[in-house]
């Protein structure tokens, strides 16, 4: 039964699997050239909690700028963060850089072909270690991501709620593993989760494994997997300052702390982020920006100020988060800095 499951899935994948920049489709089955582990690793880190469409441009940029792991290891962290800016979850970029250096210093620039050793790399957890093992080295690894959790929770009509159900789903997925083409199989499941076994409105009528699925075609299939309700976001507010120098041709930019939210990324100075509305400022009001993080809804009141007035404001006891790492930058040169999306919004507002 499980043999037929993987066979039908792989047949579907051979005809319907997507062509992706980092993918060597069906290399185990057709003796195509093996994928570059560096490409597999880079794409998997970028794809953590991020959709394929978003990743494509960043993947192209990174592979062009840093064609191999040695090149990436030699880069400065600021360069890597600048290239990653806008992609989110910036610990991924810091760990990516750290991992590249680790691969070069400890493994001679070669990714280990062992799931257990891959798991020890910075930024590589259970999913990514299994994915690299299967996709880059065609090793028999149990690859379980959000798509695959959804598929197997439906196949066996699992009533347990995520995330507590993860361990049980992992064991279910293990039963269905094939005896060959491990990398293709993992990618086939993920493509199936995107194209057929979608969160809403799954296409059970054309699903290649519908005959093995308890919930195929059922009215309530999209209620699986069941999930524990999530907490509401904190609502925080702040003042953000677009501070211009005496010549009126540069703005004040600074580096955020190494750890925590947007760690080591660049920002325009802001007051502490608090639940209550921040105090009004005697300055030009540029407007209000709302930005949604994973666990925070942030409202930014943006003010334009000249440097002397800003200094007077700060010296007068108005609380502003200031970094030791400050610099003046021409607005049209901000592309060279690691600005996260919320700061790009501030920039756009100030420049228009």
Tell me which residues in 254-283 interact with DNA (CB under 7 A): 260-263
How many Å apart are CA 254 and CA 273, to the nearest integer? 17
Q: Which stretch binds DNA (CB under 7 A): 29-37, 52-60, 71-79, 310-318?
A: 52-60
> How do 284-292 and 266-267 pair as beta strands?
unpaired
Residue of the chain from 41, 44, 156, 271 that contacts DNA (CB under 7 A): 44
Q: Answer yes or no whether residue 320 interacts with DNA by CB under 7 A.
A: no
Q: Which stretch binds DNA (CB under 7 A): 39-47, 109-117, 173-181, 206-214?
A: 39-47
Tokens found for residue 319: 């609380």
CB of 145 to DNA, least distance (A): 4
How many Å apart are CA 322 and CA 307, to the nearest integer? 14
Q: Which stretch binds DNA (CB under 7 A): 108-116, 139-147, 168-176, 202-210?
A: 139-147
CB of 348 to DNA, least distance (A): 11
Which residue has 């953590």 as its token pair? Answer: 48
Residue of the chain from 3, 11, 86, 272 that contacts DNA (CB under 7 A): 86
**Of residues 145, 151, 153, the one with CA closest to residue 51:** 145
Q: Strand (E) positions, 277-316?
A: 284-292, 296-306
Buried (b) or exposed (e) across 310-340, using 16+ Cβ within 10 A?
A: beebeeeeeebeeeeeeeebeeeebeebbbb
Catalytic residues: 44
Q: Answer yes or no whether residue 294 interacts with DNA by CB under 7 A.
A: yes
CB nearer to DNA: pick between 87 and 252? 87
Q: Answer yes or no whether residue 237 interacts with DNA by CB under 7 A.
A: no
Which residue has 């009004």 as its token pair? Answer: 280
Q: Answer yes or no whether residue 1 interacts with DNA by CB under 7 A.
A: no
Applying CB under 7 A, the site for DNA has a residue count of 58
Site string for DNA, 18-37 (x = CB under 7 A): --x--x--------------
How many Å apart are CA 337 and CA 347, to the nearest integer? 12
CB nearer to DNA: pick between 197 and 305? 197
Q: Answer yes or no whether residue 52 interacts with DNA by CB under 7 A.
A: yes
Residue of the chain from 200, 205, 219, 315 that contacts DNA (CB under 7 A): 200
How many Å apart are CA 163 and CA 161, to the nearest integer? 6
Neighbours of 18 (CB within 10 A): 13
Tell me which residues in 154-173 interact with DNA (CB under 7 A): 163-164
CB nearer to DNA: pick between 42 and 243? 42
How many Å apart are CA 233 and CA 224, to the nearest integer? 24
Q: Answer yes or no whether residue 295 interacts with DNA by CB under 7 A.
A: yes
Residue of the chain from 9, 69, 72, 87 that contacts DNA (CB under 7 A): 87
188-191, long-range: CB within 8 Å, 24+ apart, which pairs?
188/9, 188/10, 188/12, 188/13, 188/17, 189/9, 189/143, 189/147, 189/148, 189/151, 190/145, 190/147, 190/148, 191/13, 191/16, 191/17, 191/18
Q: Answer yes or no whether residue 288 interacts with DNA by CB under 7 A.
A: no
CB of 10 to DNA, least distance (A): 15
CB of 26 to DNA, least distance (A): 13
CB nearer to DNA: pick between 142 and 310? 142
Residue 252: helix, strand or coil by DSSP?
A: strand
Neighbours of 146 (CB within 10 A): 14
CB nearer to DNA: pick between 87 and 243? 87
CB nearer to DNA: pick between 293 and 318? 293
Q: Which residues bind DNA (CB under 7 A)?
A: 20, 23, 43-44, 47-54, 86-91, 95, 122-129, 131, 145-147, 150, 163-164, 187, 190-191, 193-194, 199-201, 227, 230-231, 260-263, 291-296, 340-342
């Amino acid at each position: 039964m499980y043999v037929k499951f993987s066979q039908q899935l792989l047949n579907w994948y051979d005809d319907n699997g997507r062509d992706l920049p980092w993918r060597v489709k069906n290399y185990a089955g057709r003796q195509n050239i093996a994928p570059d582990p560096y490409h597999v690793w880079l794409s998997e880190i970028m794809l953590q909690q991020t959709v394929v469409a978003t990743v494509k441009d960043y993947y192209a940029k990174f592979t062009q700028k840093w064609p191999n792991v040695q090149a990436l290891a030699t880069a400065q962290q600021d360069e890597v963060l600048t290239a990653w800016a806008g992609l989110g979850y910036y610990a991924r970029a810091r760990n990516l850089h750290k991992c590249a250096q680790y691969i070069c210093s400890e493994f001679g620039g070669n990714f280990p072909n062992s799931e257990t050793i891959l798991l020890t790399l910075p930024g590589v957890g259970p999913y990514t270690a299994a994915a690299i093992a299967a996709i880059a080295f065609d090793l028999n690894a149990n690859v379980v991501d959000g798509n695959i959790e959804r598929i197997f929770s439906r196949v066996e009509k699992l009533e347990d709620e995520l995330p507590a159900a993860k361990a049980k789903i992992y064991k279910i997925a293990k039963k269905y593993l094939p005896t060959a083409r491990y990398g293709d199989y993992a990618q086939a499941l993920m493509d199936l989760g995107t194209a057929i076994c979608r969160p809403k409105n799954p296409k059970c009528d054309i699903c290649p494994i519908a005959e093995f699925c308890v919930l195929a075609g059922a009215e309530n299939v999209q209620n699986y997997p069941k999930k524990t309700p999530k907490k509401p976001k904190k609502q925080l507010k702040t003042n953000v300052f677009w501070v211009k120098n005496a010549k009126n041709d540069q703005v004040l930019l600074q580096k955020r702390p190494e750890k925590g939210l947007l760690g080591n990324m660049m920002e325009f100075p802001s007051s502490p982020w608090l639940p209550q509305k921040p105090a009004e400022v005697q300055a030009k009001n540029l407007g209000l920006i709302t930005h949604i993080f994973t666990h925070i809804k942030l409202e930014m009141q943006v003010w334009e100020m000249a440097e002397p007035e800003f200094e007077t404001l700060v010296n007068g006891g108005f609380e502003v988060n200031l970094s030791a790492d400050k610099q003046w930058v021409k607005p049209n040169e901000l592309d060279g800095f690691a600005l996260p999306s919320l700061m790009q919004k501030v920039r756009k507002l100030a420049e228009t």
